[in-house]
Structure 1
Amino acid sequence: MRGQHFFFILTVLFLGTLLTTSIWYTSNDSHLEPHRLPALKKTEKRAPSVSSDNCNDCSHVEPDKLPPQKKTEKKAPSVSSDNCNGCSKVINKVLEHYSETWTKQEENYLKYRSQLHTRCRGSDRAILTQANTLVGSKIVYDGEKKKVYEVTPELFRTFVKVSPFSNKTWNTCAVVGNGGILTNSNCGNTIDSTQFVIRCNLPPLENEFKAHVGSKTDIVTANPSSYMKKFGGLQGQRRPFVDSLQKYGNSMMLLPAFSFAFSTPPCLRALYSVEDFEIPIQPVFLNPEYIQNLTDFWRSQGVREIRLSTGLVVTSLALEICTNVHLYGFWPFSHHPHGFQPLTHHYYDDRKANYFHSMPSEFKLLLQLHSQGVLRLHLGQCGEQ
């Protein structure tokens, strides 16, 4: 009996051990190597991506990677913030209001011409004459209201007898600024074909410039800054200065002798130089009263600049004495409006343009007059290069 009991106990123990081992393996089968599954999922997720080694056919690149390329291709012809320092917004705004298929609007033109004639009287008072400024009268400087200059007999002698603009009207007039937009414009012949040409600040016209800006000149302005440094303030030899004026022929040279007190001596020296060397150019003095009236008028039209530019002054005069006014070289921004190439401030130097991110109020006015059909602002080329 003891042997049977002993055998029975061994059998039970063996079966219990076998059953326990079986249960343990069964319960842990789902946890074999638990850290390999995430690695497999990670590998499956990365499989479709493109690597630098297997991109011979990249047609399967996900669509959300394409828009940046399309966006770059679309923006290529326009001005970007990279190549004009963020000026694209301003230039594109200008082009929205600029029409190359310009049409004159006679009613608007006549309105401005009448207002300028009534309030400023440029045809009679733009320059000092023996008819509008007598001996003994006091000239008030437009830039320094507290300073005056009494008209002596010697000064009176230098005045023209009557205004050359009285009772005269030219059919077509070109007002030519010096903006870099004239570079390679081929506008020279077009400018010279007009009846009356006004130029600013003694610009160069010869050699490589003639094809783009022309040479015909009826009025040229001469701010003292245009010749003071270049010709030593005319304190010494004056022949180089006089020779530089020969290209303007028998045109009128407008001198702002009475804008500021410091302008008077160099302007008088310029006049005496012309007289002494007996060249045909005719010096005349801008009337500061006319400048002040113009300033008040354009300020009422939204111009914010404290002092008007020479370009706006002669444009105003042209609107009074010309039936059709065309403007060239008036573009203040750093890049061309059509080709978007960088521009210099002047067509004859390397100085950078002044305006990048804002539109000067004077140019805004000219753009407005263009859109209203009062004058035509030329911003493109005039012929084939």
Structure 2
Amino acid sequence: MTTLLKRFHYITALLSSSAILLFLYFQNSEVVLKYSYYSFVSERAQRTSHICLEDRGNSSWFSERYKPTVPILLNSTNSELHPNISSWWKELQDVPNVSNYTEVVDQLFSLFPDKEHYSDAGPDRCRTCAVVGNSGNLLGSNYGQQIDSNDFVIRINKGPTEDYEKDVGNKTTHRILYPESAVDLDDNTHLVLLPIKVLDLQWLISAFTTKNITQTYTKVPSTIKASKDKVMILHPEFIRYVHDNWAEGHGRYPSTGFLTLIFALHICDKVKVFGFGATSDRNWHHYYDETLTLFEYGSHGGDFENKTINQLHQENKILMYKGLT
């Protein structure tokens, strides 16, 4: 009887110990599983964030050129130009400057929005942008839906959408232009003026008021259909920054397409680029006409700009869609 009692106590103690060990094991496993799960979620969140928000600091080549503090858009609080910027900008003008810049700016911001734009940047923002150039390589590309799926679709100069929707889409949130390339816009599109001269600012005022400016160095439209509340103006200092930092002084000033791309890098978290570069036969012409462009010559350093755009793609700062090249 004593022996049976001892065996009973032994078995009871063994079972109790086993139960405790099993309890501790499963508790520990639960902690490990929970830790693994949250680690997975954290990693997934980081990967998702990285997909949208490009790391501006993981490329020394990019970091040397990208200046996050540069004023992008002109407003009344940043309109006073540094003498170096002012003298460089005025040298670009092909027509004599007979107007007082300060007076023009005062009039400008009595008519158009005078506020900070796109100051909502942060780790939680995920703004995707399509920059749509005018290259003939867009023809037959079927990029239309991909372009329109982005938050912002930024078009350049006169590039049309009508009759080309399948390849270029039909959504436009911003169009960057200057007086000589002006076209009518719908009420949902931001007019982003690229001012190469004080007269460009005066033309913008005139187009919405007196409509008396019809000539710069060539004939320009006296008015434009666009929403006055959506007008924005690129800052002369931003133009100089793109010329110095990104074009490295090639050409007199950057092309509209190149400026647009760098503009997108500053206001977007993910930049996709369509319609840049040559066609499959190595020609440079627009998708809407066959006028050849000698991009290596003229006022812009086209060849260097093209190399810089390709470098941005290689550095994973933009995603290039090269169409039918």
Range class of TM-score, shorter chain: 0.5 to 0.7
TM superposition shift of 1:299: 4.1
SS at match of 1:194: coil
Helix, strand or coil: the match of 1:284? strand
Label 1:185 to 1:252 Cα distance change in 2 as closer, same or farther (>3 A).
same
Report what 1:254 is aligned to. 192
List per-residue Cα deviations over 1:197-226 (Å, max 9, x = no partner).
Answer: 1111132111x2111111211210121121
| Residue 307 (structure 1) aligned with residue 244 (structure 2) | no
2:120 corresponding residue in structure 1: 167
The alignment partner of 1:144 has SS state of helix
Q: Aligned pair in 2 of structure 1 residues 141, 181: CA closer, same or farther (>3 Å)? A: farther
Once residues 291 and 252 of structure 1 are traced to their aligned partners in structure 2, the CA distance between those partners, rounded to angstroms, is 19
In structure 2, the residue matched to 1:223 is 178
Letter in 2 for 1:201: N
CA offset at residue 319 of structure 1? Answer: 1.4
> Structure 1, residues 335-361: CA drift from partner, whole Å, max 9, x if none?
41xxx4x75611111212425999711
> Which stretches of structure 1, 4 residues or more, deviate above 4 A after TM superposition?
103-117, 136-139, 145-148, 273-281, 355-359
Q: CA deviation at 1:186?
A: 1.1
Kept in 2, the 8 Å contact 1:176–1:329? The answer is yes
1:288 maps onto 2:288 in alignment: no
User: Which range moved further: 179-188 or 350-359?
Assistant: 350-359
Offset at residue 105 of structure 1 (A): 11
What's the offset of the Cα at 1:195? Answer: 1.3
Could you say if the C-alpha distance between residues 171 and 183 of structure 1 is closer, same or farther in structure 2, counting changes exceeding 3 Å? Answer: same
Asked if the contact 2:75–2:115 (Cα under 8 Å) also holds between the matched residues in 1, the reply is yes
1:330 equivalent in alignment to 2:270: no
| Inter-partner Cα distance in structure 1 for 2:82 and 2:111 | 15
Query: What do residues 223-253 of structure 1 show as CA deviations (whole Å, max 9, x unaligned)?
Result: 11213xxxxxxxxxxxxx6xx322xx32211
Letter in 2 for 1:167: D
Quick check: 1:194 aligned with 2:147? no
Q: Determine if the alignment matches structure 1 residue 376 to structure 2 residue 324.
A: no
Q: Which residue of 2 aligns with 1:179?
A: 135
Structure 1 counterpart of 2:262, one-letter code: S
Consecutive unaligned residues of structure 1, counting only runs of 5 or more, are: 1-102, 228-240
Residue in 2 that maps onto 1:75: none
- Counting only pairs closer than 5 Å after superposition, residues 1-385 of structure 1 correspond to structure 2 as 107=55, 111=59, 119=67, 121=69, 125-133=71-79, 140=86, 142-145=88-91, 149-151=101-103, 153-168=106-121, 169-206=125-162, 208-227=163-182, 244-246=184-186, 249-257=187-195, 259-272=196-209, 279=227, 282-300=230-248, 304-331=250-277, 333=278, 335-336=279-280, 340=281, 345-354=285-294, 360-380=303-323
Contact 2:112 2:228 in 1 (8 A): no
- Alpha-carbon distance change, 271 to 115 in structure 1, aligned in 2, over 3 angstroms: farther
8 Å contact kept, 2:65–2:246? no
Give the Å deviation of 1:306: 2.5
How far apart, in 2, do the equivalents of 1:252 and 1:280 lie?
9
Relative to structure 1, is the Cα distance of residues 140 and 368 closer, same or farther in structure 2, using a 3 angstrom cutoff? same
Q: Which runs of 5+ in 2 are unaligned?
A: 1-50, 212-221
User: Who is 1:66 aligned against?
Assistant: none
Tell me the distance in 2 between the aligned counterparts of 1:167 and 1:368. 28
Cα RMSD (Å) of the superposition? Answer: 3.7
CA 1:198/1:116 → structure 2, altered by over 3 Å: closer, same or farther?
Answer: farther
Residue number in structure 2 paired with 1:98? none
Matched residue SS, 2:90: coil
Tell me which residue corresponds to 2:23. Answer: none
TM-score, length of structure 1 as denominator length = 0.55
* TM-score normalized with structure 2 length: 0.64
> What SS does structure 2 have at the residue aligned with 1:140?
helix
Taking the aligned partners of 2:168 and 2:57, their CA distance within structure 1 comes to: 26
Aligned CA distance change for structure 1 residues 252 and 113 (closer, same or farther; 3 Å): farther
Residue pair 1:105, 1:374 contacting (<8 A) in 2 also: no
